[in-house]
Chain A
């Protein structure tokens, strides 16, 4: 019999009560661990987002963004001007193309001809009919979009194809969504983040023409293409060099070719849809943005800093704070539970403590025995609590994120619901590649996209750190009653004789 063995024995002396205490502790510990997991995951994501977007500026033609708006296209000369701005470490030009499946495009053209309505509802909302923005005409491809049009897509594409209210009563032709092809001068996506290539290789030299392309995973899957397969754009054959995963359904319904290839396809050599400018450090972003804007001129270029993402980051930042406060609160609760339980046990075993003292037990032995008993209870609570946390943390994190973002960005919630899935509407939340938008397009979109990574990152390290914190708090909580035992006098042994 050692102190430890006695403590374990004492922890199980009243089994019903032990079960109740462990259950209550498990709730508090589980909550604390869930909050810690949420905090760590959100924190890591905020850092990642800050690191990626924080130093990236997007340059669009003044008055235009992606396939929207108007103005004059950017040129290779402007890219050189941008590269010369102090603290700019790289400039990647992009050229966006809109691709349509050849067969479906022909069918739609026929339908439009039949109704005699050729004009879209407005340049600004332009889809397939003719955007007023930076992009050139729609090209045809052998690929089929990986996203079904759905309600949003049907509505959006219908707006381009017919005048809606004056449309014929004839059956609407099946709508298909366009595929975005981006010619890029570097292996980065439209936010400046490195492409995540999951299979195959990149395109090598992005400043030379090439018959190779990178396909989004779902687009490749939809068209049964793998690395080495071929497809066509405007009857020109391309080979799939690699597959990438952009993390979103919309982002994966896209393909990348080299910048000159896209410019040639669009028959617009030297024109850029946008430029992705990377600044050498976070501290220089503000000054570089101002310098860049004045170098290019406000009448020719709009310089933006991923505003949407910024607010996503700040709302995630408050989720991080809330989860940390909740972690501390739950941790404190666990400590308080231990304190109260142990105070109760010390009072209950007053006479027994008197016995131990009467037969010569030193105060520290008795104190240690009670601290160990508390730790046995906490250990059991932690095991159950960790199990609770591994089930609950995803839900708790998503509840936190959705409540938080709905309060801070109430106006965007309605649209956000359709955000990532409803990518068919070019002006919507999804943000076209080359348009400088964050995939997902608004804070909630960003946050809900985050959820998958929040649940995925329940790491043993974080759980271990959380449990270490729980034990630390438990020791503090148990120390108070353990010290109380020192004040019990051996004569207690004779109480009630």
Chain B
């Protein structure tokens, strides 16, 4: 379970102060698949970075399974990112000179998983996200945007996190692959009780989630999900 309490993040740009996250509060039960929609620049990525402990809030707190991020020392935050969070970045952020398999193995290496085991798991994950088997050993910078996106998703799943934060995960995928990824995420939340928060512009995806939030100028509101359109 993740509880977000009065979260605020402000930036000073010049003499102006902007608040991409302005007093945001919500609670997600474990295993929920939720989406956040909103215009570009409305603060979606900033909110995700706070939930994923990439950034620290100006005020407010995120409590994960009863543990407050605000009070965690940096070492524990690193462990939290490694064990509890799977992050899918808008721009993939893979290591360009490593192969697809090596990228997926990285979080497992940091978590101390044995080499043979992490290689096997990395291959399984890449298969799940439907990356061509012959492209598994290819360097990232020789893969297409859609292929990179799938490697990024596989990497986020590597350490079986409790919470997956995905910033427009289907943005670079064709409709068919996108649907497959959505199915994969739904299955994860259903079968593995993984909480998933997806930022998306994709109406189809937003409508397939359990809950839907809208972010407007830093303010979060929940919208009803219409199951059938």
Closest residue on chain A to residue B82 by CB atoms: A360
Nearest-CB distance from B79 to chain A (Å)?
7
**1/0 contact string of A358-376 vs chain B (CB within 8 Å):** 1111110100000000000
**1/0 contact string of A1-24 vs chain B (CB within 8 Å):** 110001001100100000000000
Supply 12 further A-B pairs (C-beta < 8 A) apart from A10-B97, A491-B49, A494-B89. A1-B98, A6-B98, A9-B98, A351-B93, A352-B95, A358-B81, A360-B78, A360-B107, A362-B78, A490-B55, A490-B81, A494-B54
Q: Is B102 an interface residue (CB 8 A)?
A: yes
Residues of B within 8 A of A494 (CB): 45, 49, 54, 89
Task: Please measure, in the bound complex, the distance between the C-alpha atom of A356 and the C-alpha atom of B96, giving whole angstroms.
Answer: 12
Q: Is B213 an interface residue (CB 8 A)?
A: no
Task: Please measure, in the bound complex, the distance between the C-alpha atom of A200 and the C-alpha atom of B91, giving whole angstroms.
Answer: 83
* Segment 64-83 of B: residues with Cβ below 8 Å from A: 75, 78-79, 81-83
Chain A residues within 8 Å of B, Cβ to Cβ: 1-2, 6, 9-10, 13, 351-352, 354-363, 365, 489-491, 493-494, 497
Task: Please measure, in the bound complex, the distance between the C-alpha atom of A489 and the C-alpha atom of B52, giving whole angstroms.
Answer: 13
Q: Is B110 an interface residue (CB 8 A)?
A: yes
Nearest-CB distance from A470 to chain B (Å)?
27
Contact A359 B98 (CB under 8 A): no
Closest residue on chain A to residue B77 by CB atoms: A490
**1/0 contact string of B83-116 vs chain A (CB within 8 Å):** 1010101110111011000100111011100010
Contact A360 B54 (CB under 8 A): no
Q: CB within 8 A of A355: which of B49, B82, B95, B105?
A: B95
Q: Is B150 an interface residue (CB 8 A)?
A: no
Residues of A within 8 A of B111 (CB): 360
Closest residue on chain A to residue B156 by CB atoms: A359
Contact A1 B81 (CB under 8 A): no
Closest residue on chain A to residue B89 by CB atoms: A493
Q: Is B155 an interface residue (CB 8 A)?
A: yes
Contact A359 B45 (CB under 8 A): no
Q: CB within 8 A of A358: which of B45, B93, B105, B109?
A: B93
Q: CB within 8 A of A365: which of B102, B105, B110?
A: B110
Residues of A within 8 A of B79 (CB): 360
Contact A490 B107 (CB under 8 A): no
Contact B155 A359 (CB under 8 A): yes
From A6, A352, A355, name the one whose CB has the most chain B CB atoms within 10 angstroms.
A355
Contact B98 A497 (CB under 8 A): no
Contact B90 A359 (CB under 8 A): no
4 closest Cβ pairs, A-B complex: A360-B82, A491-B55, A490-B54, A1-B102
Task: Please measure, in the bound complex, the distance between the C-alpha atom of A357 and the C-alpha atom of B80, giving whole angstroms.
Answer: 11
| Given the contacts A357-B78, A359-B87, A362-B78, A493 and B97 also touching, CB distance less than 8 Å | no
Residues of A within 8 A of B105 (CB): 1
Q: Can you sample 25 A-B contacts with CB below 8 Å?
A: A1-B98, A1-B102, A1-B106, A6-B98, A9-B97, A9-B98, A351-B93, A354-B93, A355-B93, A356-B95, A358-B81, A358-B87, A359-B81, A359-B106, A359-B155, A360-B79, A360-B81, A360-B107, A360-B111, A362-B78, A491-B54, A493-B54, A493-B93, A494-B54, A494-B89
The total of chain B residues at the interface (CB under 8 A) is: 32
Residues of A within 8 A of B95 (CB): 352, 355-356
Task: Please measure, in the bound complex, the distance between the C-alpha atom of A494 and the C-alpha atom of B94, giving whole angstroms.
Answer: 12
Residues of A within 8 A of B89 (CB): 358, 493-494, 497
Task: Please measure, in the bound complex, the distance between the C-alpha atom of A358 and the C-alpha atom of B50, giving whole angstroms.
Answer: 12
From B53, B95, B98, name the one whose CB has the most chain A CB atoms within 10 angstroms.
B95
* Segment 145-179 of B: residues with Cβ below 8 Å from A: 155, 159
Residues of A within 8 A of B87 (CB): 358-359
Nearest-CB distance from B183 to chain A (Å)?
24
Nearest-CB distance from B223 to chain A (Å)?
25
Task: Please measure, in the bound complex, the distance between the C-alpha atom of A361 and the C-alpha atom of B89, giving whole angstroms.
Answer: 16
Task: Please measure, in the bound complex, the distance between the C-alpha atom of A395 and the C-alpha atom of B181, giving whole angstroms.
Answer: 68
Nearest-CB distance from B157 to chain A (Å)?
12
Residues of A within 8 A of B159 (CB): 360
Residues of B within 8 A of A362 (CB): 75, 78, 110
Contact A497 B54 (CB under 8 A): no
Residues of B within 8 A of A355 (CB): 93-95
Nearest-CB distance from A230 to chain B (Å)?
78
Residues of B within 8 A of A352 (CB): 95
Nearest-CB distance from A367 to chain B (Å)?
13
Residues of B within 8 A of A2 (CB): 109, 115
Nearest-CB distance from A344 to chain B (Å)?
17
Residues of A within 8 A of B78 (CB): 357, 360-363
Residues of B within 8 A of A1 (CB): 98, 102, 105-106, 109
Nearest-CB distance from A14 to chain B (Å)?
10
Closest residue on chain A to residue B167 by CB atoms: A497
Task: Please measure, in the bound complex, the distance between the C-alpha atom of A444 and the C-alpha atom of B27, giving whole angstroms.
Answer: 88
Closest residue on chain A to residue B102 by CB atoms: A1
Task: Please measure, in the bound complex, the distance between the C-alpha atom of A4 and the C-alpha atom of B95, giving whole angstroms.
Answer: 16
Closest residue on chain B to residue A13 by CB atoms: B97
Closest residue on chain B to residue A6 by CB atoms: B98
